[in-house]
Structures are given as C-alpha cells and as structure tokens.
Structure 1
Amino acid sequence: MMSSPTEMTQARTARTEDDELDLLTIGRCGVDVYPFQTGIGLEDVTSFGKFLGGSPTNVAVAAARQGARSAVITEVGDDPFGRFVCREMKRLGVSDRFVARNEDYNTPVTFCEIFPPDDFPLYFYRQPKAPDLELTASNIPIRAVRAARIFWFSVTGLSAEPSRSAHHFALDLRKGSKWTIADLDYRPMFWQDEEIASREVGRALGKANVAIGNKEECRIAVGETEPDRAADALLDRGVDIAVVKQGPLGTLAKTRQERIVMPVTPVEVCNGLGAGDAFGGSFCHALLAGLDLARAVQYASTAGAIVASRLECSTAMPTTTEIERVIAEHPDIRPVIEKR
C-alpha cells in the first residue's frame, strides 16, 4: 500500500540530509501573494493567500510531491518571509540545507492578478536586489551538485552577478552528468536587454543536455519561435532533448531520433502561472522513473494542466496518483511519435 503524502514527505526530508539527491535546483525563490478573488485588479482585491514561490523552488516541490528527494540552492532574506520560505520548503518535502540567509536584502515577494483563461500579470518586488541573485561559488555544494541525478537551473539566475558566475561554477561541475536541465524561463524585467540575455542563455545551453521553454523563451535562446525550428536550433546547440511548450497548442519534444507532439489536456483554467513549474517537476519525476520521452512529456503536460486548474502554485502540485488518474480519464489524449 502506498504511503500517505505526509509520511512520504517526512521520510524524504530525513533521507536528503545524507543521501544522493534525485533533484537539485538552483535559483529563484520567494513568497507568492495571490488574490483569492479572480477577474479583478489588485486595487480591488480584499483577500490574499501567501505561498512558497520562485520557479526553481516550485519545480523542486513538484518533484518532491511525487517522491523525489529534492533540494534548492538559493538565498533568502534574514526576515520573516525568509523564515517562511524555509519552513514551507520543509513542509512540502524539499530540503532547505542549501538555503543561505542574506542580511542585506529582503526576501522577494511576487503578486499576481488572475484573469482566466489566459491573462495572469505578475508583479515582482525584488528591488534593489533579490537575495537569490547574490549566490556565489561559495554557496555551491560541490559534492551534492556532482552527485544529484538531475540538476535544474533557470536562466533567470544568469541575469546578474554574482549569481551568473555561481551558476556556471555549478554547471561546470556537472560535466559528464546525465541530466542537466536548462529552464529557459526568460523574464525581461530581470535583464538589462535582450542581447545580453541571448548571449548568456546561449553560453549556458552548451552546459545542459535538456532545454525546456515556450516559444518566446526559445526566441531569446536561439532566435527561433516556430516550434520545430526552435527545437532543432536547441539540438544544434548541443542538448539531447529539446522541449517547446506551446500553451493551448500542446507541447513539442525533439531528439535527434524522434519528434513527439503532445496535445493539451482540457481543463477549466483558474491560474496558469504554476503550469510550467508543474510540467518541469513532473518531467523530472518521469526521467527519474525511467519513462521514455513520450511518456515523460505526457506526464508533465498532464501535471501542468492540473495545476492550471488550481489557484496557487507550490501547494497545488499534483501527486503521482492524481496525474495518472487524469491520464486514464483522457485515453484519447496521447503523444504522437514520429521517427526522424
């Protein structure tokens, strides 16, 4: 009989202190403050919820929710929100042993507005600088980075020093590792300009073997938005797997041997902001479970759809049982595989 999520979380938190990690992510974290009222602007909202946030952190939570031993390399402020972040990580099954405290900058807060089905403006409060961009090489746990089965980074962490150098220090430790995944999570407000973003993302791609992003993120990374051309360009940069997310048009995944198209799972969208993180964490879980690429994309896409139907991000991540149930409920929605 499968253990309860609470029992699994307690066991994972105990194991990650000494064992090899399944998933180690690096980068953004903070507090998401989401409105409980949808379809209205923040100026009219009267009640909010406070949640753990930051894309790499959410990815770690999504994988932990499905049994992975996960941890995050990041920094938080030495403040109440920083304490909340660490406490919530542990509650959701993610080790906080690589979370540093920064006395100079506050833990960032992110607000959003929710206008279903496809308008979810984000407001980042990360000035004058977010602690997670203050990571240095001294924050990188060398042994853990080398040993982790999957290492996940977001290109946001490349947007400023010293975080950029810290990321490359970690990526250089991964040489020869099986799974190093680049999340092409481009946020223009974090970058000085697109030219710098394209240069830095391109530089990091050479150190990853999987790249995941939407069409706009692919434009920044490789100068292409048409999904097939974007995927081919990512493969030309040296990755083994290229995944292009297309929102309601589904997902395209490519290797040098096959092309996979995954349609979307129909849901009533509440908040689409956490779907990409659910996709990422569930994709990692599928790789760890030894699923083939088509099944991994199906699994990840389904998880993304589930979270899009919910309000929050981190605490909305589905269990393995939930994902498999939704897949079983839609037997006609399956990946289409073409050999290349």
Structure 2
Amino acid sequence: MSKFITIGEPIALFGADDMDKSLEDATTFTKYLAGAEVNVAVGVSRLGHSTQYITRLGNDPFGKFIAKALKKNNIGTNYIESTDDYWTAYQLKNRVSKGDPDIYYFRKGSAAAHFDKAILNTIDWKDTEHVHLSGIFPAISSEALSAFRLLIELLDQNKITSTFDPNLRPQLWDSEKQMCETINELAKHADIILPGINEGKVLVGSDDPEVIADFYLNQSDTTSTVIVKLGKDGAYLKEKGTKSGKKIAGQKVEQVIDTVGAGDGFAVGIITGLLEKISIEEAVQRGNIIGALAVQSAGDNDGYPTKNDLDLVLKEL
C-alpha cells in the first residue's frame, strides 16, 4: 500500500483569470483541482511517494473531474466512495497579487460532508509511514468531525506519524470559539503541528512564533515539533526539550501570481523530507522552497515541483 495517506474534501475550483478583480467583476475562470489536503497529496505524489487520498465524491461532473485529476496525479483512490445522493463541492476564487484571495464556497451538504467513517476501518496500514491532517475536514460537518476523531484513534493504534495543519476556515464553523477549541483539541494528537503566524494569533492569542510553538509543545506529550509558517520570512522551528527555536529563512520570489497553496506546499516539503529521512532543518528549507514555487503559479497546486524540478532548485541554492 501507500507510504502517505491524507483525508479531506477535494473541490472543483473556478479561479478568476483576471488579476486583482473582485469575483463579481471577474469575467473568465479556469477550472482546477483544489482543496488543502488534496494539494498536499498532489505535491507528495509529484515528488515520487506513493499516496492514498480518503474522501467521498458525488456522481456528477465535478466528482468525475476530480477522480480523473487524482488518477492523473498518481494518487490512489482505494478509499474514495461515490454517491448519487449528494453533490461534489466547488468554489470560486479571485486572483490577487498580495494577501489572501476572496473565496466563495459551495460545499454545505456535499458528498464529503456526508462521509461514512466505516471506510476508515478498511485501511491497510502495513506500509503507511505518514498521515497528514488538516483542520478543514472536521469543520465541514459533524460526520466529518466524527470520522476525523476515529482516524486519530487508528493512527495511535497503528503508531503512524502525523502532521496537522490548522488551516483555519472561520466560515465553516459556527463560531470562532468553537473553531479554536476544536482545532486546539485535535492538534494534541499530532506529532508535528504546522500553524501559520496569523493562525497563531487566533488560536493562541499571540503572533510571537515562540509563544505559539510553546503552546502546542506544552499542551500534549504527543507533539514533538512545531513549525510556525512566517510567510515570506520563512519558518520558525522548535522541538520539544529545546530552550529556543530556529528561524529558517524563506525564499525570494520575483512575482507573486497566486498566494493560495503556499502553506500546503510547505507541508509537502516537511512530509517528503520526513519520508526521505533528511534532517528537520532541511525539510523546513524544502518546505520554504515549495511554498515559494507555489505562489508563482495560478492553480492551488500547479506550481508544486517534480523531483527533477526540486533537484534543480536545490543545486541553484
């Protein structure tokens, strides 16, 4: 089976072609495969690692588009169910040169929101080395949250290493209080946590990377490493048992085309670095590189490198 597994809701994304126009003013759109967890799956697969993706799709044009895109990216679909009862999620996103774009979701009541957790008990963990989790999937429905909790139990039983990206989506939660309490509780079960600096301000009440790192390292015996994403400034790495962390510089980008997907690209660097047994510092540097590559392409995951692409960038550095 696959070395890497993730669970989430893949989305058919219609991204505006016009730069810095609002969604209401944009006139042309391009369709992409999107979704935070599927972005990570694409990136890990593109770097040559066997990958499985867990989700539920509707038997509709968007679901068929996503299924084809997953296969095209060599992502395993052994744990994907299809249904005639619910539809596949999609979204609209404008294109911005700075900051975060406007995103409009059509995902409430989707096929993934009605995920049947029974499929999790059929997973073959024999070759699995790493699972990536995100705070988005448990936010889409009570069924998804229940499945997420079961998956956490299975990871503990099978001693599988995990990363957790909070990936805050306030529009999917009933309240900010519910979001923060649930995300921080789920984070306790992860080996490595990957919060963004702005997410830290919401979840922890501080944008000091050391304060953010210490919060997650101290709230759980399971968490061994926290890597705070600092955007263009790189990342802050702190491991349990160390007095202070390390700042690892980001990569210079000449032109930003689309900021979405940078954080997921960063996770790709961390995960593939772990799978390849390089040092955690090198993995963070790889994450910074892939995040920088991501913002130079229009799709959420189109800028992620192949192994040859990454080797070329590393040689240049």
TM-score, normalisation: structure 1? 0.86
Does structure 1 retain, via aligned residues, the 8 Å contact 2:5–2:128? yes
In the TM superposition, what is the alpha-carbon distance from 1:78 to its structure 2 partner? Answer: 1.6
Does structure 2 retain, via aligned residues, the 8 Å contact 1:58–1:278? yes
Does structure 1 retain, via aligned residues, the 8 Å contact 2:188–2:216? no
In the TM superposition, what is the alpha-carbon distance from 1:294 to its structure 2 partner? Answer: 0.3
Within the alignment, does 1:308 sit opposite 2:308 as a pair?
Answer: no
Partner of 1:108: 89
Within the alignment, does 1:136 sit opposite 2:116 as a pair?
Answer: yes
Within the alignment, does 1:122 sit opposite 2:103 as a pair?
Answer: yes
Q: Classify 1:171/1:147 alpha carbon distance in 2 versus 1 (closer, same or farther; 3 Å).
A: farther
**Among candidates 246, 249, 265, match of residue 251 of structure 2:** 265
The percent of aligned pairs where both chains have the same amino acid is: 23
**Among candidates 163, 167, 177, match of residue 181 of structure 1:** 163
Partner of 1:165: 146
Please, which runs of 5 or more residues in structure 2 have no aligned partner? none
Does structure 1 retain, via aligned residues, the 8 Å contact 2:226–2:239? yes
Does structure 2 retain, via aligned residues, the 8 Å contact 1:171–1:207? yes
Within the alignment, does 1:227 sit opposite 2:209 as a pair?
Answer: yes
Q: Classify 1:287/1:150 alpha carbon distance in 2 versus 1 (closer, same or farther; 3 Å).
A: same
Does structure 1 retain, via aligned residues, the 8 Å contact 2:12–2:62? yes
Give the letter for the 2:256 counterpart. Answer: V
Does structure 2 retain, via aligned residues, the 8 Å contact 1:235–1:242? yes
Q: What is the root-mean-square deviation in Å for CA atoms of aligned residues?
A: 1.8
Does structure 2 retain, via aligned residues, the 8 Å contact 1:222–1:234? no
Does structure 1 retain, via aligned residues, the 8 Å contact 2:131–2:160? no
**Among candidates 87, 94, 97, match of residue 68 of structure 2:** 87
Within the alignment, does 1:325 sit opposite 2:309 as a pair?
Answer: no
Give the letter for the 1:153 counterpart. Answer: L
CA distance in 1 between partners of 2:161 and 2:308 (Å)? 25
State the number of aligned residues: 310
* Deviation readout 1:242-295 (Å, 9 max, x if unpaired): 011111222111102362212121111110101111111222111100011100
Q: Classify 1:39/1:219 alpha carbon distance in 2 versus 1 (closer, same or farther; 3 Å).
A: closer
CA distance in 1 between partners of 2:217 and 2:263 (Å)? 21
Does structure 2 retain, via aligned residues, the 8 Å contact 1:24–1:145? no
CA distance in 2 between partners of 1:234 and 1:126 (Å)? 30
The alignment partner of 1:153 has SS state of strand
Partner of 1:283: 270
The alignment partner of 2:177 has SS state of helix
The alignment partner of 1:171 has SS state of helix
CA distance in 1 between partners of 2:23 and 2:297 (Å)? 19
Give the letter for the 1:294 counterpart. Answer: E
CA distance in 2 between partners of 1:199 and 1:316 (Å)? 34
* Deviation readout 1:179-205 (Å, 9 max, x if unpaired): 111111110000001111122112212
Give the letter for the 1:72 counterpart. Answer: Y
Does structure 1 retain, via aligned residues, the 8 Å contact 2:23–2:102? no
**Among candidates 227, 230, 235, match of residue 243 of structure 1:** 227
In the TM superposition, what is the alpha-carbon distance from 1:145 to its structure 2 partner? Answer: 4.9
CA distance in 2 between partners of 1:45 and 1:205 (Å)? 38
Does structure 1 retain, via aligned residues, the 8 Å contact 2:296–2:303? no
Partner of 1:253: 237
Does structure 2 retain, via aligned residues, the 8 Å contact 1:24–1:70? yes
CA distance in 2 between partners of 1:222 and 1:102 (Å)? 39
The alignment partner of 1:200 has SS state of helix
The alignment partner of 1:24 has SS state of strand
